[in-house]
Amino acid sequence: MAQNITKHVKDMVAEANTKVEIIPTTDAFDLVGRDDTVIVDLRDIRELQRSGKIPGAFSCPRGMLEFWIDPDSPYHKDIFNQDKKYVFYCASAWRSALSAQLAQDMGLQPVAHIEGGFGAWQKAGGPVEDVA
């Protein structure tokens, strides 16, 4: 018997986008290198190696986000325990919308994500750093 999926990804992303701040791509250019902001790349290592990343972005694979944010987790990363704004991005802003909402629900604040993701960033001429 086929599964009856009742909540679809597009609906989840749309809902997340009503709950979190969305930063227009070109506005996000101004966040690179700021001391009060952590830009978080949620893409996997193959995506990073293939297309690079936003300069200075912290790489956090989507599957580890909850574990790295939670200070009670054995996998916690101190980068998520700072008084800074956390700006998430992925390839097309779907994972980042869901991740920003999740992080916000966990208590991380303030959080946002970049409209259109890395694809929009590149298309708009944003700076890109190679990943070896």
Give residue 80's identity as a one-letter amino acid code.
Answer: F
Q: Measure the CA–CA gap between 27 and 47, rounded to whole angstroms.
A: 23
Q: Residue 40 domain-assigned?
A: yes
Range of 75's domain?
9-123
Q: Residue 101 domain-assigned?
A: yes
pLDDT tens digits, one per residue of 29-39: 999 999 999 99
CATH of the domain at 113: 3.40.250.10
Q: Would you say 52 and 129 are in contact if contact means Cβ atoms under 8 Å apart?
A: yes
Q: Residue 131 domain-assigned?
A: no
The first and second tokens of residue 51, run together, are 């297309």
Q: Measure the CA–CA gap between 70 and 66, rounded to whole angstroms.
A: 6
Question: Is 103's pLDDT higher than 90?
Answer: yes
Q: Which residue has the tokens 């986008």?
A: 17
Q: How many distinct structural domains can be found in the chain?
A: 1
Q: Residue 69 domain-assigned?
A: yes
Q: Residue 112 domain-assigned?
A: yes
Q: Residue 59 domain-assigned?
A: yes
pLDDT tens digits, one per residue of 10-66: 999 999 999 999 999 999 999 999 999 999 999 999 999 999 999 999 999 999 999
Q: Residue 73 domain-assigned?
A: yes
